[in-house]
Chain A
Amino acid sequence: QKEVEQDPGPLSVPEGAIVSLNCTYSNSAFQYFMWYRQYSRKGPELLMYTYSSGNKEDGRFTAQVDKSSKYISLFIRDSQPSDSATYLCALLEIQLISNFGNEKLTFGTGTRLTIIP
């Protein structure tokens, strides 16, 4: 079983719809929960992160974490064609190595999202 499971999609929705993206994880050692967005032929860029259960809003984006269920979600309201990209959940475990912290990211497979104008 993978440490992080994410529905790969693809997912196509009309402009203006609410999008829900989800991941589940198995390792309780994960401390930070992140969402990255990756456009075609680009590296991932951080959208949002949180470290506690509950909701965190940033504009049209809401990140939700339920640590008891090991379940994280990203909601996009009023979706725009420019939101079309691959969305990756990423979980971070800080490991101490030689007194330094290795902030090791474990990614989901990514969900390819297309917003149809």
Chain B
Amino acid sequence: DTGVSQDPRHKITKRGQNVTFRCDPISEHNRLYWYRQTLGQGPEFLTYFQNEAQLEKSRLLSDRFSAERPKGSFSTLEIQRTEQGDSAMYLCASSSPGEQFFGPGTRLTVL
């Protein structure tokens, strides 16, 4: 399968713990996006990478969130000191540019 992949698919954690998600984009895509989707809502933009450079961060991305794309390929999204309000689906998308192709998402539950 040559689509966007995300790992893990599900993550359950206790409040205060750190979590890290991984996204592997389509190989020739130089743009990578992270979105967050809560129940009953559409995805909301979090951040955008052009190759390894993080060019924009949403106000939604508090100081507890950090994203990297060290070699312009895969990307990681880390959440430190998780809160119950962080429970959501975290979606990754890539493009070359043009159409954004989405991965299946990582569903985070913070207890």
User: Which residues of A come within 8 Å of B, CB atoms?
Assistant: 4, 6, 8, 41-46, 49, 88, 90, 95, 97-98, 100-110
Contacts and interface: CB of A to CB of B under 8 A. Distances in A.
Given A103-B95, A105-B43, 20 more contacts: A4-B42, A42-B104, A43-B105, A44-B43, A45-B102, A49-B99, A90-B42, A97-B50, A101-B97, A103-B31, A103-B98, A103-B100, A105-B35, A105-B45, A105-B100, A107-B43, A108-B42, A109-B42, A110-B41, A110-B42
Interface string B54-74: 011000000000000000000
Nearest to A36: B102
Contacts of A97: 50, 55-56
Contacts of B12: none
Contacts of A90: 42
